[in-house]
Amino acid sequence: MRHKDRVMSAFRGEWADRPGIFEQAFASSVASKILGRRALTGSTSLHYEESRAWMRGESAHAEFLDRVYEDTVALARALDLDAIYPPWRFGTRPTRQVDEYTFLYGDESGDGWVKMSFDPASETYGVVARGREPTSEDVAQTMRAAIAAAAREPAPSTERLDPFLRRLLREHGGEYAIPTGGAGLSIPIQRAWLEATLLDRALVEEYLDARVESNLRWLPVYKAAGADYINGGGDFADKNGPVYSPRFFCQVMAPRWQRIFQACRAVGLPYVMRSDGNLWPVAEELFGQCRPEGYGEVDWDAGMDPARVRAAFPELVIFGSVPCGGVLLRGTPRQVAETAEYCLRAAGPRVVLGSSNAILHGTPPENVHALFEVARRFKPPRRRTPPRAPARAAR
């Protein structure tokens, strides 16, 4: 059986020869241990490495992209994954290098600049200084500019797709499931943006409509290029629930999500909706009424237990859900195996096994192998019985 058939069978609600396995993001440090050599596959350390490559010139950046591509495919083969996800890249060229680990982005003489620095101990790359936080007026200008840009956007085409994705589809799309990003929709989780939902809702809605229309124009291109599904979504919640009110979600976000999901179905591209956090306050509207085919970044520690999700939404395909910051990072291989087994029995056959979000720096390689070994030896149950949840310590 082809790798991609295992993933796509989950959308049909059928068990394959074994459950599909995937990872949407994989820390380079962990991949290096698995491959036995230095690898570039993901996490914010990849953003630092890309900035370093940019500063060495166009040819060095092209070599960097080739290296990331080869390492991503090599990791998929080493772990026998069934889907290959293009790594999340920063995508912004630095203005200058400040020191060995720090880069400036933007014009330091203005307000919108940012300095980011890499911490070798934690393998993280984050903001250490910025000009100033965006104000309500800054956000309004950003939305107006985005609306104007959407009206002038050139016609979508396969030639305008990310070259990394095009290469994956061309060279490995016949064997592996290859998702595309895009078709996302969100309100940035920043104070000025959230204030805009209260102070200038009409402009927010106009901005979201422009985003939706742009997304819809791209869907036939993704399909024609050979993508298997959309790995979309947009973070809008934390452990306490949505960062804006359920009323705003139902009145503003849900109708636009529904348009996107319906358009994806019309072109034959299943949509995987992703957001961390506790989604229960709007779960019925999102999963029951808007009806994406899949749900990713399932945040079990925020209350999104895969068994409860399955009971509420029998047709929803669950991607991941093994807690990446809990059992995968700090547990034992046995605890990882118990949690993975529970997820498969709770969510199958509409399940693709992986972490809840990403394989984080510091994750023991033996835990990664334990996670996927469960899928390889898993025997589909002849009838559904309620699975027994693993102990809290195993999550």
pLDDT per residue as tens digits for the range 132-158:
888 999 999 999 999 999 999 999 999
Query: According to the model, what pLDDT value does residue 385 have?
Result: 64
Alpha-carbon distance of 33 to 366, in angstroms, equals: 10
Residue whose structure tokens are 């998702």: 179
For 102, the token pair is 């720090």
For 234, the token pair is 């947009």
Q: Is the pTM of this model over 0.75?
A: yes
Residue 329, helix vs strand vs coil: helix
Alpha-carbon distance of 45 to 305, in angstroms, equals: 30
Low-confidence ranges of the chain (pLDDT < 50): 393
Residue 381, helix vs strand vs coil: coil
Counts of helices then strands in the chain (DSSP H, E)? 15, 13
Residue 317, helix vs strand vs coil: strand
For 357-390, write each residue's pLDDT tens digit.
999 999 999 999 999 999 999 988 776 666 777 8
Query: According to the model, what pLDDT value does residue 394 have?
Result: 53
Burial of 354 (0-12, 13-18, 19+ CB in 10 A): buried
Q: Are 322 and 370 in contact (CB under 8 A)?
A: no
Amino acid at 289: Q
Report the candidate in 142, 267, 279, 151 with the shortest Cα–Cα distance to residue 213: 151
Query: According to the model, what pLDDT value does residue 393 have?
Result: 44
Alpha-carbon distance of 100 to 349, in angstroms, equals: 48
Burial of 226 (0-12, 13-18, 19+ CB in 10 A): middle
Residue 11, helix vs strand vs coil: helix
Residue whose structure tokens are 């009409």: 202
The helix-helix angle for 58-79 and 44-55 (nearest 10°) equals 150
For 356, the token pair is 């809840």
For 140, the token pair is 């309004």
Report the candidate in 313, 320, 275, 307 with the shortest Cα–Cα distance to residue 293: 313
Residue whose structure tokens are 């068990």: 15
Query: According to the model, what pLDDT value does residue 383 have?
Result: 66
For 109, the token pair is 């003489």
Alpha-carbon distance of 56 to 125, in angstroms, equals: 19
Beta strand pairing call for 241-242 and 179-180:
unpaired
The number of beta carbons lying within 10 Å of the beta carbon of residue 154 is: 6
